[in-house]
Amino acid sequence: MNHFPKLFSPFKIGSMELKNRIVMPAMETHLCNEEGHVTDAIISYYSERIKGGVGYVTVENTAIDPAGRLNDGMLCIFEDKFIPGLRKLTDAVHELDGKIVIQLSHGGKEALTYFTGLDPVSPSSIPSPLTKQTPKALTVKEIHDLVKKFADSGKRVYEAGADGIEIHMAHGYLVNQFLSPEANIRTDEYGGNTENRARFAVEIVKAIREQVPQDYPVICRISADEYTDTGIKLEEGKLHAQMLEKAGASAIHVSACNSASPFFNIPTYYLEEGCFTHLAEGVKSVVNVPIITVGRILGPEYAEKILEQNKADLVAFGRVLIGEPHMPEKAKAGQLEELRPCLSCNKCINSIMDRKLTCTVNPAIGKEAAIAAMPKPLSKNVLIIGGGPGGMSAAETAAKRGHKVTIWEKENELGGNFRYSTLPPFKEPMRNMLKYLVNHVNQHGINVQLNKEATTESVMEFAPDAVIAAVGSKEVKLELPGVEDADIIDIKDAFLNVNELGKNIVIVGAGPEGCELADFLSSAGKNITLLEMKRIIGMGLIAHPRYHIVERLKKANVKMIISTKVVKVGKGYLVVKKRREEEQRLDGFDHIVMSTLNKPNKDLAESIQDFVKEVAVVGDAVSGRTALEAISEGMEAALKL
Ligand SMILES: Cc1cc2nc3c(=O)[nH]c(=O)nc-3n(C[C@H](O)[C@H](O)[C@H](O)COP(=O)(O)O)c2cc1C
């Protein structure tokens, strides 16, 4: 039975015949080599998504010019020498009966001189909001040269055997810079009114069209709204789409934002599902070519609705397919419980700032082929100590690999500290992940023993072949004068006992947990003061969720005090000190909540090393971070057994 008939109906973009409407949008992986050539890891990564049943994959941001290369993790296509590698990739996809499109891109002023050794360029000499580099304004001759470079690269995509080309005209990169009134203040034929600003984009489409067969897909990805005060808005985005259609575009992929609005571009869990779909719908109303929508579309149900309501023709799932490459085939089979949820936590985009792509829920990226080829290990008796996210993901992976797995959890339910991070507003993806992990532990016949605290002796008696210690961090209370008599509550108790807390609460420590508690309690109507010793609220959170939670706290009138140390506590008051200022007494609190210090917790693991052959420590027990790292570390440890 086809559970999502629209989503799994065939479609055609130009000559490219698709088995369904699911698109994997371009997402940098940084899995290429330093010169920008395709590697086995890239082939493994895209092949896995094809095996998972996606309609077509779009290969990441690929540089048409050395000066447009954003960093040394970006694939390249600016010379013929890149064709053989790309051909290997397209061949691998075609062998699996899949379709593949390559995205052509130039970073413009976002390409870091530090990597390229070349001056950044842009239509106008306006500094980048992100890199702060001031680019050189391109001459008309240089613009013509760049149009040719796009066209030559388009020809290379075709020669490499790809099924189509996508031109990156979005997200604040060079073509978007031309289209945008914010980045383009030229007064010649490439600047000024909408038509002039679109001239570069239109010329690129026409020039590429001359290099490829008439019905070869040339897809334009635009930011139909830049989410800034003075940038492109939907009405202008619609005009861009019409001009691109006229120039020969085969489809328009409607995205949003530029480098001045990075916290919206890859929408984190504080933004609603399908947050850019209204843009696709708007663009669809004025053109005849197919429209692709993108932006926090989390599952097949929502995608099916978009198609039913004719808001778009195809639906792109980005991070969802990073985390769950087999989403399409599982959705088609109706196995929705089997879908590993994307957390929209943006660890992925954070990871490629300085290294290869990683994902909180999927540690297999770029290693899919190697993992599949791993021989099944001899079944071992594996004891997982701790049933938090790290322990549960370790247990699931170990059980799937054929081990006999037992979890010991000291509390009366699974989840560990992760339970608390599912409570604040907008944490539905984390709730889904917790549910997913618990379901999978139950499904795989794992022996779960609750209220079971591990000791050296009990482990010895159990005699496991391997132990994964996912015991969480050692929580150490802050030592402060007055702490004994001040009725301090810790963060967990505050989460669990919200109704018993008074109206005025101070939270000491504005790390991830402190911020989320502040959000949780202010949503419950409490007056919150959030106090932080460092200069930053939300240190340890990924930039995107951090931006949004700080905005929420501001809106909720949470009083945020930074660079301030607590020197003394008492019943209902704190004495605090800011550098170079006098001590100050903050009074009138009904409750004082204090974060604990999270220290490594390896004592038990070390004590069993002499009699257990394999011992691994994962998650907060290694070092106190957010619960998210634990999930991938648990899986990685289990894969090594
Ligand atoms: C790790 C990562 C890398 C990305 N790289 C690109 C890129 O190379 N080109 C591009 O057009 N968009 C890029 N994007 C944006 C995605 O294509 C997509 O628009 C965005 O993730 C929103 O879709 P989603 O909510 O389905 O993830 C990237 C996103 C992520 C998470």
Gap from CA of 100 to ligand 1 centroid (Å): 16
The DSSP element (H or E) to which 617 belongs, if any, is strand 614-617
Gap from CA of 263 to ligand 1 centroid (Å): 12
In this prediction, residues 613-630 reach a mean pLDDT of 88
Contacts of 58 by beta carbon, 8 Å cutoff, 6+ apart: 23, 24, 25, 26, 100, 101, 102, 103, 166
Q: Is the pLDDT of residue 504 over 90?
A: yes
Q: Is the pLDDT of residue 487 over 90?
A: no
| Dist CA 201 CA 399 (whole Å) | 52
Residue with tokens 């000499």: 125
Residue 294 Cβ inside 6 Å of ligand 1? The answer reads: yes
Question: What helix, strand, coil percent values describe the chain, rounded to 5?
Answer: 35, 20, 45
Residue 186 Cβ inside 6 Å of ligand 1? The answer reads: no
Contacts of 581 by beta carbon, 8 Å cutoff, 6+ apart: none
List the residue whose alpha carbon is closest to atom 26 of ligand 1.
318
List the residue whose alpha carbon is closest to atom 18 of ligand 1.
318
Gap from CA of 266 to ligand 1 centroid (Å): 6
**What tokens appear for 485 in the block?**
């008599």
> Do residues 160 and 83 touch, judged by C-beta distance below 8 A?
yes
- Local confidence band at 355 (pLDDT 50, 70, 90 cut-offs): confident
Mean pLDDT across the chain, nearest whole number?
Answer: 95
Gap from CA of 295 to ligand 1 centroid (Å): 9
**What tokens appear for 389 in the block?**
């996210």
Strands (E), 173-281: 218-223, 251-255
> Do residues 467 and 573 touch, judged by C-beta distance below 8 A?
no
List the residue whose alpha carbon is closest to atom 11 of ligand 1.
26
The DSSP element (H or E) to which 629 belongs, if any, is helix 628-639
Sign of CA dihedral 492, 498, 502, 505: positive
Sign of CA dihedral 71, 319, 18, 222: negative
> Do residues 572 and 593 touch, judged by C-beta distance below 8 A?
no
Q: Is the pLDDT of residue 65 over 80?
A: yes
User: What is the bridge-based pairing of β-strands 11-13 and 16-18?
Assistant: antiparallel
**Ligand 1 atom closest to 316 (CA):** 26
Contacts of 606 by beta carbon, 8 Å cutoff, 6+ apart: none
- Local confidence band at 2 (pLDDT 50, 70, 90 cut-offs): confident
| Dist CA 69 CA 402 (whole Å) | 44
| SS3 category, 613 | coil
> Do residues 530 and 507 touch, judged by C-beta distance below 8 A?
yes
Gap from CA of 366 to ligand 1 centroid (Å): 17
| Dist CA 3 CA 132 (whole Å) | 48
Question: What tens digit of pLDDT does each residue of 512-554 get?
Answer: 999 999 999 999 999 999 999 999 999 989 999 999 999 999 9
- Looking at residue 324, its pLDDT comes to 97
> Do residues 448 and 441 touch, judged by C-beta distance below 8 A?
yes
Candidate from 22, 27, 220, 342 with most ligand 1 atoms within 8 A of CB, to mutate: 27
Q: Which of 49-53, 105-109, 485-489, 602-606 has the lowest mean pLDDT?
A: 485-489
Name all domains of the chain by residue range, CATH numbers in brackets.
11-370 (3.20.20.70), 375-475+600-639 (3.40.50.720), 478-595 (3.50.50.60)
Residue 106 Cβ inside 6 Å of ligand 1? The answer reads: no
User: From the candidates 45, 56, 158, 173, which is the catalytic residue?
Assistant: 173
Strands (E), 477-583: 488-490, 504-508, 527-531, 559-561, 564-570, 573-578
Residue 222 Cβ inside 6 Å of ligand 1? The answer reads: no
Gap from CA of 500 to ligand 1 centroid (Å): 43
List the residue whose alpha carbon is closest to atom 13 of ligand 1.
27
Q: Is 254 exposed, middle or buried (0-12, 13-18, 19+ CB in 10 A)?
A: buried
Q: Which of 256-260, 369-373, 608-612 has the lowest mean pLDDT?
A: 369-373
- Looking at residue 500, its pLDDT comes to 94
**What tokens appear for 102 in the block?**
């390559």
Candidate from 23, 28, 272, 350 with most ligand 1 atoms within 8 A of CB, to mutate: 28
Q: Is the pLDDT of residue 158 over 80?
A: yes
Closest CA to 74 of 85, 59, 84, 89: 59
Residue 605 Cβ inside 6 Å of ligand 1? The answer reads: no
> Do residues 261 and 226 touch, judged by C-beta distance below 8 A?
yes
Residues β-bridged to residue 335: none
User: What's the predicted TM-score (pTM) here?
Assistant: 0.95
Residue 544 Cβ inside 6 Å of ligand 1? The answer reads: no
User: What is the bridge-based pairing of β-strands 291-293 and 251-255?
Assistant: parallel
Gap from CA of 26 to ligand 1 centroid (Å): 6
The residue type of 40 is: D
List the residue whose alpha carbon is closest to atom 29 of ligand 1.
27
User: What is the bridge-based pairing of β-strands 466-469 and 591-594?
Assistant: unpaired
**What tokens appear for 555 in the block?**
């809106």
Residue 14 Cβ inside 6 Å of ligand 1? The answer reads: no
> Do residues 619 and 472 touch, judged by C-beta distance below 8 A?
yes
**Ligand 1 atom closest to 60 (CA):** 8
Gap from CA of 252 to ligand 1 centroid (Å): 16
**Ligand 1 atom closest to 352 (CA):** 1
Question: What tens digit of pLDDT does each residue of 23-39 get?
Answer: 999 999 999 999 999 99
User: What is the bridge-based pairing of β-strands 314-316 and 447-449?
Assistant: unpaired
Residue 255 Cβ inside 6 Å of ligand 1? The answer reads: yes
- Looking at residue 394, its pLDDT comes to 96
Return the axis-axis angle of helices 543-555 and 512-523, rounded to nearest 10°: 40
- Looking at residue 522, its pLDDT comes to 97
**What tokens appear for 377 in the block?**
């290990």
Residue with tokens 């010329």: 203
> Do residues 23 and 166 touch, judged by C-beta distance below 8 A?
no
Return the axis-axis angle of helices 628-639 and 389-400, rounded to nearest 10°: 30
| Dist CA 251 CA 241 (whole Å) | 9
> Do residues 370 and 345 touch, judged by C-beta distance below 8 A?
no
The residue type of 112 is: L
Residue 349 Cβ inside 6 Å of ligand 1? The answer reads: yes
> Do residues 437 and 532 touch, judged by C-beta distance below 8 A?
no
Residue 348 Cβ inside 6 Å of ligand 1? The answer reads: yes
Gap from CA of 32 to ligand 1 centroid (Å): 17
Closest CA to 393 of 63, 634, 48: 634
| Dist CA 477 CA 482 (whole Å) | 13
Sign of CA dihedral 250, 252, 258, 264: negative
Q: Is the pLDDT of residue 601 over 90?
A: yes
Measured CA to CA in angstroms, residue 20 lies from 12, 44, 563 at distances of: 9, 22, 53
- Looking at residue 29, its pLDDT comes to 97
Residue 168 Cβ inside 6 Å of ligand 1? The answer reads: yes
Cα R_g (the chain), whole angstroms: 26
Question: What tens digit of pLDDT does each residue of 80-94 get?
Answer: 999 999 999 999 999
List the residue whose alpha carbon is closest to atom 6 of ligand 1.
27
- Looking at residue 579, its pLDDT comes to 84
Residue 172 Cβ inside 6 Å of ligand 1? The answer reads: no
Q: Read out DSSP for 200-214?
A: HHHHHHHHHHTTS-T
What are phi and psi for residue 572, nearest 5 degrees? 80, 5
Residue with tokens 């085969």: 250
Residue 103 Cβ inside 6 Å of ligand 1? The answer reads: yes
User: Known catalytic residue: 173?
Assistant: yes
**Ligand 1 atom closest to 267 (CA):** 25
Residue 323 Cβ inside 6 Å of ligand 1? The answer reads: no
Candidate from 110, 252, 266, 351 with most ligand 1 atoms within 8 A of CB, to mutate: 266
